[in-house]
Amino acid sequence: MTPISQPQQSTAPTATVDLTAQTTDEPLERAKPKVFETRDLAVFYGDFRAVRDVNIAVHQSEITAFIGPSGCGKSTVLRCFNRMNDLIDIARVDGHLTFHGVDLYDKAVNPVEVRRRIGMVFQKPNPFPKSIYENVAYAPRLAGLAKKGSAMDEIVETSLRKAALWDEVKDRQKKSALGLSGGQQQRLCIARALAVNPEVVLMDEPCSALDPIATGRIEDLMEEIKQQYTIIIVTHNMQQAARVSDRCAFFTTEVSETSDTRTGVLVEYDATEKMFSNPSDERTENYVTGRFG
């Protein structure tokens, strides 16, 4: 399962070092290759259109943030990127979403393979009711990366280290993951997602259930791993988006004039710095300055 993700990960650091060294004023567009591109992406739940007209490009080794008020469909859009919406019977995705140029919703694409390359961390920490070790070993074992013994131990240790959890749990890996604190559980979930060596990590409000210290740790962690992984994060917290993200997409809801239904729309997508200092759309400005939402 590694052949696709491996070469990109090894080339990513060199590519970024070159480009970030000379940039700051150069447009980010040219800086990094595109991982995802969407064209007129829309999601329906039955007849109800939850989100429409999403056109964005997600770049390698960057943190892309989705912000916006509740119910604007940012989580729904995030779940398109690893086909989690497939699990909802009535959900339907319209438009185009490509991953390195491959249409993710092509009939020939296997959603299980998609999710191995595009991992996910959820809003509420959801460790499995197993030991800490087994939580991390779960996906590599199913993917056949390693079975048992030292090979698996190594994967577990590496993943826990990447998630900045190793020092806290190395002596109690066989203990239940449910005994960890909320922040530790969330970092365990990140370790679990990193264990299969994905290329992208999707984070759906990963800090909303955590206190500021645990939140800070996760933000540091994202900063550390972003050389190796492309990250998309949904967040309610504008400061968080401003702190961690390179690019930012602002969604809002539009109430239909004929019926009382709300549909999420993408208002603006740009470099985070521009979004927070000089947004092109008035609605974005109102939101980031706290006048709305």
Span of 20-28, 29-37, 145-153, 187-195 interacting with another protein by CB under 8 A = 187-195
d(CA 162, CA 46): 40
φ, ψ (nearest 5 deg) of residue 201: -120, 125
Q: What would the 3-class secondary structure string for 220-249 be?
A: HHHHHHCCCCEEEEECCCHHHHHHHCCEEE
- Does 206 interact with another protein (rule: CB under 8 A)? no
- Does 222 interact with another protein (rule: CB under 8 A)? no
Span of 12-20, 27-35, 111-119, 269-277 interacting with another protein by CB under 8 A = 111-119
- Does 192 interact with another protein (rule: CB under 8 A)? yes
- Does 80 interact with another protein (rule: CB under 8 A)? no
SS3 265: strand
d(CA 12, CA 28): 15
Torsion of CA 141, 144, 145, 146, to 10 degrees: 60
Among 41, 63, 72, 84, binds another protein (CB under 8 A): 84
- Does 101 interact with another protein (rule: CB under 8 A)? no
Sequence-distant (≥ 6) Cβ neighbours of residue 244 within 8 angstroms: 63, 65, 219, 222, 223, 233
Q: CB of 47: closest distance to another protein in angstroms? A: 16
How would you class 150 by CB atoms within 10 Å of its CB: exposed for 0-12, middle for 13-18, buried for 19 or more? exposed
- Does 138 interact with another protein (rule: CB under 8 A)? yes
Q: Considering beta carbons, is residue 209 or 271 the nearer one to another protein?
A: 209
Size of the site for another protein (CB under 8 A): 30
Among 42, 54, 56, 139, binds another protein (CB under 8 A): 139
d(CA 67, CA 51): 14
- Does 175 interact with another protein (rule: CB under 8 A)? no
Among 11, 40, 48, 124, binds another protein (CB under 8 A): 124
- Residues in 228-267 that interact with another protein by CB under 8 A: none
Q: Considering beta carbons, is residue 45 or 138 the nearer one to another protein?
A: 138
Alpha helices, DSSP H only, in the chain?
2-22, 74-78, 111-117, 132-143, 149-162, 166-169, 182-194, 212-225, 238-244, 272-277, 282-288
- Does 146 interact with another protein (rule: CB under 8 A)? no
Among 126, 227, 261, 289, binds another protein (CB under 8 A): 126
* Interacting residue ranges for another protein, rule: CB under 8 A: 82, 84, 87, 89, 112-117, 119-122, 124, 126-130, 138-139, 142-143, 176, 189, 192-193, 195-196
